[in-house]
Structure 1
Amino acid sequence: MSDEVLRFEELTVDFTVGGTTQRAVDRVSFGVRPGEVLAVVGESGSGKSVTALAALGLLPPNATAGGRISFGGADVLSMSRAELTALRGRRIAMIFQDPSGALDPVFTIGSQLVEMIRAHQPSLSRGAARDRAIELLGMVEIPANRLKYYPHQLSGGQCQRVMIAIAMACDPELLIADEPTTALDVTVQQEVLDVLLAMRSKISGAIVIITHDMGVVADVADRVVVMRKGSVVETAEVHELFDRPAEEYTRTLLNAVPRGGARPQAGSAGSAEPVRVVPALAIEDLVVEYRGRRGKLVRAVDHVDLELTPGEITGLVGESGSGKSTIGKAVLGLAPITAGEIRVGGQALSTASAAILRRTRAGIGVVFQNPAGSLNPRATIGQSVGEPLAVHRGVRGAELRTRVEDLLDSVELPGAWAGRYPHELSGGQRQRVSIARAISLDPALLIADEPTSALDVSVQATVLELLRSIQERLHFACLFISHDLAVVDQLCDRVAVLSHGALVEQGGRESVLRDPQDAYTVRLLAAAPVPDPREQAHRRGLRLAG
C-alpha cells in the first residue's frame, strides 16, 4: 500500500550452513503504517528478528533474501552498500536487545552519540553535535553529566535509554526495537516504554517492536503481527487480537501468558498448627557490602531476614540493584558476607569447616539466568549434567551414563541427546539441561536466578510447569529470584520484596500480591504490564494524569 512506511512483500530468507539450506522466513507480507506501533510476536525461531534485520540489510553473509522490502519507493534488498549506509540510522534506526553488547565498552556514551550524529550530519561541528547529544540525553531523561560515562557505569535501563537516544539522533521515519525490555525489571521496563512512546510523538515516526512479552504488546501496540516458523499466521488490531484471536497458535500464545490468581495458595486449607521443622534456608540479619569506586563501601544487602521451609517456593522480587541476586550469591558463597548469618539445613555457613561447607553446598542446586553462559560450550550436555555426580559422589562409567540419561528424561529431553553440545539446543532446551544439572544431587535447596526472563512465553510456560512438577516430586525448597511478578504469582508460595537491599515486605503470595502493604510493592505491581490492552490503556491514563 502506498501510504505505508515499510512493506514486506513475499519476503524469504534462507540460511546455508554446512552445505544445507534452511528457510528462516517464508513468504512474509505485511506493512507498517505511519505513526503506528506495530508489534511482531512469536516464539524463538519464528523469524521475527531475521525479518527486521532484512529491513536494514543486516543479514549475515550466509543468508539469501528474496521478495521485496519497499521503503520510500525503493527496494531495500537491491540497495548498494552506500545506499544502505545512508539508510541506516538516518531513515531507519534499530534498538537491539542487549544494549551492553550494542554499545562500545571502550568509548564514552557521549562520544558514541556524537559519532552517530556527525556520521549522518557531517556539516555539524563537534560542538554542535555535542549540544545535540545533550539534548537527546535530556529527551530520554539522562543528565548531561553522563556524557563522560562509559556503558559499564550505567544500569541496564540507562544503557537502553542511551540506545534509544542514539536511534533517535537523526529523527528516523521508522524505529525497529528488538526485544528492548527483555531482562529489565518492571519499573525500568515501564520507563523505557514511556520513553519510546514519547519519542514517537516527537518525531511522528512509526515503531516496530519485536517482543515475546504480551503485556508489553497490550501496553503499547496498535496492531500485531503473529509469526510462527517463518510465516505470518495472523495480523490484527491489538484489541481484536486479544479479544478474538482467529488462529489456534495465537490462542496458544495468549494462554501461555502467566496470569495472576491462577493457583490456590499453598497450605491455605485446614486450621491445624504447623509442625516446626528445620528451615531449608535461614538468612539472619544479613549484610553484604562491596568496595565501590574510590574505596567507598556500597551496601548491597541491608539487614535481611528470610526463611524457607522444606518444599516451599519463595519468590524474591525487586528492581535491578535491589540486592536479589546478591542474596542468592551469598547463599552460594559467591558474595562476601559482611555481617549476619546464613544457615542451610540448620548448618551455619560462617562456622562450618571446609569439609562441611563442601557437603552442605553439594545440597544446593542453582539455575542461572542465561543457560548459554552457564553451560560449558566445549562440554556435551551429558558431561555438564554428570559433572556434579562425578565430583561429589564419585559416580563413573555406565552408572554415570545411566544417571545422566535418567536426569535428562526427568526434564523431558531424550537421553540420547547426552552427546549434544549446548549450541545445538534451543534456549528452552538449554534451560532444561541447567535444571537437570541443578537437581542431579537431589538438593534440599534450589536457587533459581531469573531462569525464564529471556524465554518466549510458550517456552517459559513449559519450563515453569517442569520446575513446579520436579519440585513437587523432590520436595526441595526454592528461592526463585525474578522481576516478573506474573511468573512469581504463578509459581511461588511466598513472596519477599526487596528495595535498595532491604526487605520491605514478605508473606504469603495472596497477601503480598493481592493486598500489598508497602508503597514500594504497590508501585512494583502497578508497573507490571498485564495482557489486556484496555487495562493497560487505563493504567497509562492514570499515570499521565498523576
Structure 2
Amino acid sequence: MSEPVLSVADLRVWYGTDRGAVRAVDGVSFDLYPGETLGLVGESGCGKTTLGRGVMGLLPRAASVEGVVDFGGQNLVRAKPKTLQRLRGPQLGMIFQEPLTRLNPLMRVSEHFEEALSAHEPGTPKAQIRDRAIDTLRAMGIPPTRYRAYPHEFSGGMRQRIMIALALVLRPKFVVADEPTTALDVLVEAQIISILADLRAGFDTSLLFITHNLGIVAEACDRVAVMYAGRIVEQGPVTEVFARPQHPYTEALLRSTISLNTTGLHYIPGAPPDLIDPPGGCRFNPRCEHAMTVCARQFPHPVAIEDQVVECWLHGPDELIEPGGREPLVREELSVADEA
C-alpha cells in the first residue's frame, strides 16, 4: 500500500471555558490514503467538525491543540500560519456545511474564483482563471451562463456545488467535506455524492467525509470512523464495520437507522456525556447495555480485529482487565429525564 496522504496521531483539541476544558477531540488517530474516502460519523456534539477543522488548522485562537497531523512529512499542528495559508487551496481543501455563511453575498461567483486563484496562483491570466473556473463549475453541473451570478440567485443545492467547485479548482490532495449534503433533497444529495466520486477518480483526491447519514457512508466511503465523545471508538472498511460492528455504540447507531425493512424504532438511551467532565473509563459505559465493571474503571485500549480497530473491553486485552472486571456493571436505571 502507498504512503498515507494524511496521518493523524493522538490529536487533541480542547477549548477553555469557565467550567474547565472542553475535550472536543481527545486522542484521535487515523490514516488516509490517496484516492480514499473516510466517513466520519457520530452523534451531534461528538467532535466531528472540530476534528475536521483541527486537521485543517481552522480553529479559534483560544483552542489548545496537541498531537501530530502529518501531511507530506510536515506536522500541521506545529506549522506557522503562513505555511497553512500556503497549503490551503492547492494542497488542502475544505467544503463547509452551509454555503451562505462562506459565500460573500456582495461578490459574484466569478469574483470568488478570481480571488481564490489569484491568492494561491498569483500572476495567472484572467482568461485562464475564467476557463478553469468555468470548467470546474461545468463539472458540477453549473452552466457557464451562471458564472457572473450572485450567490442568492442559486438554489441551496447549486450553492453547495459552487462551494465544492471552489474547493476543487486548485486540485488539492486532501479535502475535508463537512456535511456537504445536509438540508439537501435526496436527488441533489445523490448528485453531490456522484460529483465527489468523480473527484476521487479524476484527481486521486483523498476525502474526509463528515456526516450523520450512515446511508451516504455506505454508498460513498471506503472506510468509516465512528466517533463518540471526542474519541474514534471504531474504524475499518465500511463493508466490514457495517456487517460486523464490534463496538456497542456502532451497533446501536446502525440499529437506529431506518430503512424500507424497518418494523420498529430503536434509539440509544441517555445522551452523549459532558465533555468538560466525561465519565471515567469508557465514555460510552453509562449508555452501554454490555457495560462491565472494567468499563467504568479503565480506559479501553485499541484492539485490532482483522481490518477493524475498536476501543472496547468486550474485546480485551484480557491481560489488562483486573480480576472481576468482566462482571456486569451494576447501576441505577436511566430515568425518563436522563433519556431525554
TM-score, normalised by the number of residues in structure 2:
0.76
Paired residues for 1:454-469 under 5 Å: none
Q: Name the counterpart of 1:33.
A: 33
1:204 Cα deviation from its structure 2 partner: 1.1
Q: CA separation in 1, counterparts of 2:224 and 2:91?
A: 23
Q: Name the counterpart of 1:118.
A: 118
Q: Given residue 18 of structure 2, which amino acid in structure 1 is its aligned partner? A: G
Q: Name the counterpart of 2:201.
A: 201
The C-alpha deviation readout for 1:127-164, integer Å capped at 9, x for no partner, is: 21111111111111100011111111101110111111
Q: CA separation in 2, counterparts of 1:214 and 1:16?
A: 32
Q: Given residue 224 of structure 1, which amino acid in structure 2 is its aligned partner? A: V
1:167 Cα deviation from its structure 2 partner: 0.5
- The secondary structure found in structure 1 opposite 2:194 is helix
Q: Name the counterpart of 1:143.
A: 143
Q: Name the counterpart of 2:132.
A: 132
Q: Name the counterpart of 1:236.
A: 236
The C-alpha deviation readout for 1:246-282, integer Å capped at 9, x for no partner, is: 1000001111111224349xxxxxxxxxxxxxxxxxx
Q: CA separation in 2, counterparts of 1:26 and 1:116?
A: 33
Q: CA separation in 2, counterparts of 1:152 and 1:203?
A: 30
Q: Given residue 34 of structure 1, which amino acid in structure 2 is its aligned partner? A: P
Paired residues for 1:262-411 under 5 Å: 262-263=262-263
Q: CA separation in 2, counterparts of 1:129 and 1:198?
A: 22
Q: Given residue 255 of structure 2, which amino acid in structure 1 is its aligned partner? A: N
Which one has a bigger Cα radius of gyration?
1
Q: Name the counterpart of 1:24.
A: 24
RCO comparison, higher one (Cα < 8 Å, 6+): 2
Q: Name the counterpart of 1:58.
A: 58
In structure 1, the gaps of 5 or more residues are 265-411, 414-465, 467-546
Q: CA separation in 1, counterparts of 2:46 and 2:111?
A: 36
C-alpha change, 1:192 and 1:71, in structure 2 (3 Å) is: same
1:20 Cα deviation from its structure 2 partner: 2.1
Q: CA separation in 1, counterparts of 2:64 and 2:188?
A: 38
The C-alpha deviation readout for 1:507-532, integer Å capped at 9, x for no partner, is: xxxxxxxxxxxxxxxxxxxxxxxxxx
Q: Name the counterpart of 2:169.
A: 169
1:123 Cα deviation from its structure 2 partner: 2.0
- The secondary structure found in structure 1 opposite 2:226 is strand
Identity of aligned residues (%): 40
Q: CA separation in 2, counterparts of 1:263 and 1:55?
A: 40
Q: Name the counterpart of 2:81.
A: 81
Q: Which runs of 4+ in 1 moved over 4 A?
A: none
- The secondary structure found in structure 1 opposite 2:77 is helix
- The secondary structure found in structure 2 opposite 1:160 is helix
Query: Could you tell me whether the CA contact under 8 Å between 2:55 and 2:69 is conserved in 1?
Result: yes
Q: Given residue 113 of structure 1, which amino acid in structure 2 is its aligned partner? A: F
Q: Name the counterpart of 1:15.
A: 15
Q: CA separation in 1, counterparts of 2:238 and 2:247?
A: 14
The C-alpha deviation readout for 1:409-464, integer Å capped at 9, x for no partner, is: xxx99xxxxxxxxxxxxxxxxxxxxxxxxxxxxxxxxxxxxxxxxxxxxxxxxxxx
Q: Name the counterpart of 1:449.
A: none
Q: Name the counterpart of 1:102.
A: 102
1:18 Cα deviation from its structure 2 partner: 2.6
Q: CA separation in 2, counterparts of 1:246 and 1:145?
A: 51
1:119 Cα deviation from its structure 2 partner: 1.2
Query: Could you tell me whether the CA contact under 8 Å between 1:17 and 1:62 is conserved in 2?
Result: no
Paired residues for 1:149-164 under 5 Å: 149-164=149-164
Q: Given residue 158 of structure 2, which amino acid in structure 1 is its aligned partner? A: Q
Q: Given residue 172 of structure 1, which amino acid in structure 2 is its aligned partner? A: P
Q: Given residue 140 of structure 1, which amino acid in structure 2 is its aligned partner? A: M
Query: Could you tell me whether the CA contact under 8 Å between 2:94 and 2:167 is conserved in 1?
Result: yes
1:175 Cα deviation from its structure 2 partner: 1.1
1:48 Cα deviation from its structure 2 partner: 1.0
Q: Given residue 217 of structure 1, which amino acid in structure 2 is its aligned partner? A: V
Q: Given residue 99 of structure 1, which amino acid in structure 2 is its aligned partner? A: P
Q: Given residue 3 of structure 2, which amino acid in structure 1 is its aligned partner? A: D
In structure 2, the gaps of 5 or more residues are 265-269, 272-335
TM-score, normalised by the number of residues in structure 1:
0.48
Query: Could you tell me whether the CA contact under 8 Å between 2:42 and 2:48 is conserved in 1?
Result: yes
Q: Name the counterpart of 1:186.
A: 186
- Structure showing the higher helix proportion among its residues: 1
- The secondary structure found in structure 2 opposite 1:194 is helix
Q: CA separation in 1, counterparts of 2:161 and 2:101?
A: 14
Q: CA separation in 2, counterparts of 1:153 and 1:84?
A: 32
Q: Given residue 248 of structure 2, which amino acid in structure 1 is its aligned partner? A: E
Paired residues for 1:483-502 under 5 Å: none
C-alpha change, 1:225 and 1:6, in structure 2 (3 Å) is: same
Q: CA separation in 2, counterparts of 1:205 and 1:149?
A: 28
Query: Could you tell me whether the CA contact under 8 Å between 2:2 and 2:33 is conserved in 1?
Result: no
Q: CA separation in 1, counterparts of 2:79 and 2:20?
A: 27
Q: CA separation in 2, counterparts of 1:22 and 1:36?
A: 31
The C-alpha deviation readout for 1:200-250, integer Å capped at 9, x for no partner, is: 211111111000000100110100011100001001101001110010000
1:189 Cα deviation from its structure 2 partner: 0.3
Q: Name the counterpart of 2:260.
A: 260
The C-alpha deviation readout for 1:17-46, integer Å capped at 9, x for no partner, is: 236212111111111111111101111111
Q: Name the counterpart of 2:246.
A: 246
Q: CA separation in 1, counterparts of 2:104 and 2:199?
A: 23
